[in-house]
Amino acid sequence: MFRRARTDTAAVLMFLAPSALGFMMFYLIPFAMGVYDSFVESTADNRFVGFEHYRELLSSESFRKAARNTASFTLVSVPLMILLSLSLAVLLNQNIYIRRWLRTAFVLPLVVPAASVVLVWQILLDWNGSVNAWLGYFERARVDWMKTDAARSVVIAVYLWKNIGYNMILFLAGLQQIPKDYYETARIEGAGPFRQFRSITLVYLTSTLFFVTIMSVINSFKVFRETYLIAGDYPHDSIYMLQHYMNNMFMSLDIPKLTAAATLMTGSILLLVLVLFALERRFRSFLE
């Protein structure tokens, strides 16, 4: 048995080796090099400067504005994403007539290229676009969507539209794993829809809910692509994100500040994920 266990372990390691090697070469080692670059003067001068670049970042108004906008975007968009995608999954899990068509409609944004999607949103939200045309039809004032504070609402809408289908599929998969007998038993015992949702649906969806939350948080930090394509190099202050700041540092070849900002963002995401792990354990114990 010991010899067979060693053989199985060797086979597992052999199959994992290519993936582990690729992860180290393209993710782990470059990230470690980036962290190292954030503690030196520059890529040409490897003189160790400690946390000097981090102090400059925290004293920079541009970085603080980008961090505030990114944090507020995540705090607003992620709960909306969870609420809407879960509600749609519960709805589409019912036996309604156009269920298959609706599922296809919500999944389509996952396969449409981002540039094509953004072109449609630009046509809709331009000063002479369709939305302002409808506002004029109803005798409402036009809105310069991407040059005012309304730009944040536009980016949140694009983020929700692009990612809601993926989260809905995950919730649907979790809902379909819940035995129907539990709901029938709960109805017989007099439990209402809210009690069934709290005591059955949420309990069995805890792991899925936790995974969807983590993925939504990560995707909220990756909204730069859509924002850049919609608003260009110089967006409105309300949608100036951390990725914009890092992109500006890259364009000016300020590698130490770029890597310092990336390290801080990675650390923030890691801390947030650890907090979510703790909340997930508390939530599970509360439901049980």
Rounded Cα distance between 257 and 285, Å, is 42
- 287 pLDDT exceeds 70? no
- DSSP per residue over 150-201, as a string? HHHHHHHHHHHHHHHHHHHHHHHHHHTTS-HHHHHHHHHTT--HHHHIIIII
What is the domain-level CATH number for residue 134?
A: 1.10.3720.10
Most confident of 149-158, 182-191, 220-229: 149-158
pLDDT at position 4, please?
60
Q: What is the pTM of this model?
A: 0.81
Which residue do the tokens 């046509």 mark? 123
Closest to 241 measured CA to CA, from 260, 258, 222:
222
Domain assignment of residue 43, yes or no? no
Rounded Cα distance between 118 and 113, Å, is 9
What's the gap between Cα 120 and its chain centre? Answer: 22
Give the chain's domain count: 1
CB-CB contact of 151 with 158 (8 Å): no
Which residue do the tokens 């036009």 mark? 142
Domain assignment of residue 196, yes or no? yes
pLDDT tens, position by position, 9-23:
777 788 888 888 888
Q: How confident is the model at residue 80 (pLDDT cuts 50, 70, 90)?
A: very high
Closest to 145 measured CA to CA, from 79, 231, 84:
231
Its domain, for residue 147, covers 60-287
Domain assignment of residue 118, yes or no? yes
Percentage above 70 pLDDT, the chain: 93
Rounded Cα distance between 102 and 164, Å, is 12
**What's the mean pLDDT in 28-42?**
86
Closest to 94 measured CA to CA, from 169, 164, 172, 191:
172
**What's the mean pLDDT in 42-60?**
83
Q: What is the 3-state secondary structure (H, E, C) of 65-125?
A: HHHHHHHHHHHHHHHHHHHHHHHHHHHHCCCCCCHHHHHHHHHHHHCCCHHHHHHHHHHHH
Q: How confident is the model at residue 40 (pLDDT cuts 50, 70, 90)?
A: confident
pLDDT tens, position by position, 235-272:
888 888 888 888 888 888 888 888 888 888 888 888 88
Domain assignment of residue 225, yes or no? yes
Domain assignment of residue 274, yes or no? yes
Domain assignment of residue 54, yes or no? no
Domain assignment of residue 48, yes or no? no
pLDDT tens, position by position, 134-168:
888 777 887 777 778 888 888 888 888 888 888 88
